[in-house]
């Protein structure tokens, strides 16, 4: 199967972009990162893309009078580049229903919580305040409502005594770097089926993919 042309939308550090670039460096990975677009100039994500010899572009929302015109420019560039799938990776702009519809089931996001818990910002502090014992990250198809849409995959991490939002964020981020490439691999290889708004994987996960916290007694 031909590798899918993927664009990654970023706004900052780009550690998830790096995980996708590293995965796509393997020629058997079913997707190639064809373009990285940032809405902010000078961010680390752009350096990471340049280092991997991936074309970059800055489309600043500040250069447009409103959200629709910014998104139109974004879509136009994605189409020009022959992009088939779009991954949001720390992209800090909310996209309107029109853009989301245009890229329906071709637009993917990673969110640092086990959705549908904790949509929105400050997920790690909110998870600690709620006292949950498992936290994590989700990769999902994007729908118009913020941080909603069919869940492709999730990774859970334990919340440990003494965790701070920072220590928990670091543990979740490590899980993100494993989860995002895996989910992109499944989507790009067309192993993800949607039944209504639910994702069904044609390749079943191993039955030992379970996480307990506290750990069960042996």
Catalytic residues: 111
- Any alpha helices (H) in 81-217, and if so which ranges? 97-102, 123-130, 165-188
Q: How far is the CB of 185 from ligand GRF (least distance, A)?
A: 17
As a whole number of angstroms, the distance between CA 120 and CA 32 comes to 29
Quick one: 77 or 171, whose CB is closer to ligand GRF?
171
Encoded tokens for 152: 């492709």
Quick one: 111 or 135, whose CB is closer to ligand GRF?
111
Quick one: 16 or 39, whose CB is closer to ligand GRF?
16
Quick one: 89 or 115, whose CB is closer to ligand GRF?
89
Contact 48, 14 (CB under 8 A): yes
Q: How far is the CB of 111 from ligand GRF (least distance, A)?
A: 6
Q: Determine the length of the chain.
A: 218
Contact 40, 12 (CB under 8 A): yes
Binding residues for ligand GRF, rule: CB under 6 A, are 12-16, 89-90, 110-112, 137, 173, 176
Contacts of 55 (CB under 8 A, 6+ apart): 34, 35, 36, 49, 81
As a whole number of angstroms, the distance between CA 127 and CA 26 comes to 35
Q: How far is the CB of 218 from ligand GRF (least distance, A)?
A: 33
Q: How far is the CB of 88 from ligand GRF (least distance, A)?
A: 7
Minimal CB distance residue for ligand GRF = 90
């Amino acid at each position: 199967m031909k590798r899918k042309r993927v664009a990654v939308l970023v706004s900052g550090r780009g550690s998830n972009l790096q995980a996708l670039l590293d995965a796509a460096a393997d020629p058997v990975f079913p997707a190639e990162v064809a373009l990285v677009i940032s809405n902010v100039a000078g961010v680390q994500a752009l350096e990471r893309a340049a280092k991997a010899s991936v074309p970059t572009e800055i489309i600043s929302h500040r250069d447009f009078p409103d959200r629709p015109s910014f998104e139109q420019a974004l879509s136009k560039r994605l189409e020009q580049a022959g992009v088939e799938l779009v991954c949001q990776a720390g992209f800090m702009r909310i996209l309107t229903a029109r853009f989301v519809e245009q890229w329906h089931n071709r637009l993917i996001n990673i969110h640092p919580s086990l959705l549908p818990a904790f949509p929105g910002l400050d997920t790690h502090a909110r998870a600690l305040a709620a006292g949950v014992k498992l936290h994590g990250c989700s990769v999902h198809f994007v729908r118009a409502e913020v941080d909603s849409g069919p869940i492709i995959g999730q990774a859970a991490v334990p919340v440990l005594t003494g965790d701070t939002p920072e220590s928990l964020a670091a543990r979740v981020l490590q899980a993100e770097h494993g989860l995002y490439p895996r989910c992109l691999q499944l989507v790009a290889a067309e192993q993800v089926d949607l039944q209504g708004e639910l994702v069904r994987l044609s390749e079943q996960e191993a039955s030992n993919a379970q996480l307990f916290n506290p750990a069960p007694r042996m």
